[in-house]
Amino acid sequence: MKDKISLVVPCYNEEAALPLFYQEADRVTRDMSGIDFEFVFVDDGSRDGTLSILRELAERDKRVRFVSFSRNFGKEAGMLAGLEAATGDFVALMDADLQDPPALLPALYKAVTEEGYDCAATRRVTRQGEPPIRSFFARCFYKLINRISDADIVDGARDYRLMRRTVVDAILSMREYNRFSKGIFGWVGFKTKWIPFVNVERVAGETKWSFWKLFLYSLEGIVAFSTAPLAIASILGFLLCVIAFVFIVLVVIKTLAFGDPVGGWPSMMCIILFLGGIQLFCMGILGQYLAKTYLETKHRPVYLVRETEEGVK
């Protein structure tokens, strides 16, 4: 029996990059003889010509399948839909912009078939071509999240990876609504080989990630994979109690020794504002977890499909 590899490719407004991606992926996969391939493109509610390109590809090449969403649900939803639709013994996740070079596929495949790994993942070794401030925050984020969560999240890891069916099924068994793949991959464990490669710029089109979006995404990751921030309220509360107690003792002693001079209005204002700030901050953290719990309990579908290669649903 031939092995079958499914390539899962989430695409959002990728009309410029898709033809180039297909060309390159087609070349690489034809070179890997003895293996069946399947392309699972996920059109994440694109507003450009992505869907019509996919229809055309599916028409032309029987290996091409696609899932098209009813609207933009985000890359996480796209990856989930692709993994669910994939039928291969191995599944590779990759971006449509050729930042995840298909040329690495033979090396990834070799790692899982010959070297005894369950999963071969890629990480970029440099953050070249990225604004320094973004690299700085990215590094801080990885340090922080690895300290406060038990999912092993590797700095510089891309979503580009090839997994055995067992690993795919493990990932699919995590039914959470708020999906943070970097955390999910780390959480399921399994033997992973890390293959470093030098970062490449996207071939065409534009990145969908602004600094602000990345920042919010990192907060999602923290809320999804750690409950440490919830402890902040208790720690701050305890520290403030200790400080307050010391102050009370000082005030009592001062009053007994020097009488009761009225004053201290400015300091009072500072303290009230400071405490108010801390209280709101902690309530905000609590709110974040509550909001996520609220969304989880609604059990909404992660994505809705409008069309596949078999036609409109």
Binding site for ligand UDP (CB under 6 A): 10-12, 14, 44, 72, 74-75, 78, 95-97, 99, 202, 207-209
Question: In the bound complex, what is the minimum distance in angstroms from residue 101's beta carbon to Mg ion?
Answer: 12
The tokens describing 276, both together, are: 């108010």
Neighbours of 268 (CB within 10 A): 10
- The entry of Mg ion, ligand UDP, none near residue 245 (CB within 5 to 8 angstroms by kind) is none
Nearest-angstrom CA–CA distance, 285 and 223:
9
- The entry of Mg ion, ligand UDP, none near residue 209 (CB within 5 to 8 angstroms by kind) is ligand UDP
Q: Please name the residues in contact with 196: beta carbons below 8 A apart, sequence gap of 6 or more.
A: 122, 123, 124, 125
Question: Residue type at 189?
Answer: G
Question: In the bound complex, what is the minimum distance in angstroms from residue 231's beta carbon to Mg ion?
Answer: 35
Nearest-angstrom CA–CA distance, 309 and 66:
5
- The entry of Mg ion, ligand UDP, none near residue 208 (CB within 5 to 8 angstroms by kind) is ligand UDP
The three-class DSSP label of residue 11 is: strand
Nearest-angstrom CA–CA distance, 305 and 312:
9
Nearest-angstrom CA–CA distance, 171 and 76:
12
Cβ proximity to ligand UDP, 134 vs 292, nearer residue: 134
Question: In the bound complex, what is the minimum distance in angstroms from residue 131's beta carbon to ligand UDP?
Answer: 12
Cβ proximity to ligand UDP, 38 vs 95, nearer residue: 95
Cβ proximity to ligand UDP, 74 vs 183, nearer residue: 74
- The entry of Mg ion, ligand UDP, none near residue 14 (CB within 5 to 8 angstroms by kind) is ligand UDP
Question: In the bound complex, what is the minimum distance in angstroms from residue 228's beta carbon to ligand UDP?
Answer: 26
- Residue numbers at the binding site for Mg ion (CB under 5 A): 95, 97, 99, 202
Neighbours of 302 (CB within 10 A): 17
Neighbours of 267 (CB within 10 A): 9
- The entry of ligand UDP, Mg ion, none near residue 10 (CB within 5 to 8 angstroms by kind) is ligand UDP
Q: What is the DSSP letter of 104?
A: G
